[in-house]
C-alpha cells in the first residue's frame, strides 16, 4: 500500500493546533524557496568535480549533454 501525502494551506490558528499533535508532520514552503529551486544553476566546470581518471569523458558531464535524453 502506498503512503499518501495530503497538502493543505492552513492559517496560524490551525497550524498551532496541529503542531501540538504527535501524529502530524508539518512542512512549510515559502516563495523564496521555490524561486531558489527554479533559478538556473550556476555553471560548474566538470573538470573540478570529476575525478581525474574520468577526464577523458568530460564531455558527458557538460550541461548540454546532461539535459539530453539517452537514446533507446
pLDDT at 37: 81
pLDDT at 56: 93
pLDDT band at 2 (very low <50, low <70, confident <90, very high): low
Long-range contacts of 34-38 (CB under 8 A, 24+ apart): none
pLDDT digits (tens, 9 = 90+) for 8-67: 888 889 888 888 888 877 777 777 778 888 888 788 888 998 999 999 988 888 877 777
Residue 42 C-alpha cell reads as 550556476
Residue 63 C-alpha cell reads as 550541461
The residue ranking higher by pLDDT, 70 or 21, is: 21
Kindly report the number of other CB atoms within 10 A of residue 18's CB atom: 14
SS (H, E, C) 9-52: CCCHHHHHHHHCCCCCCCCCCCHHHHHHHHCCCCCCCHHHHCCH
pTM of the predicted model as reported, rounded to 2 decimal places: 0.37
Amino acid at each position: 500500500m502506498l503512503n499518501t501525502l495530503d497538502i493543505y494551506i492552513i492559517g496560524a490558528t490551525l497550524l498551532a493546533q496541529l503542531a501540538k499533535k504527535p501524529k502530524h508532520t508539518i512542512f512549510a514552503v515559502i516563495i523564496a524557496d521555490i524561486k531558489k529551486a527554479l533559478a538556473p544553476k550556476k555553471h560548474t566546470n566538470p573538470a573540478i568535480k570529476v575525478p581525474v581518471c574520468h577526464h577523458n569523458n568530460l564531455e558527458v558531464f557538460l550541461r548540454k549533454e546532461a539535459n539530453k535524453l539517452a537514446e533507446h
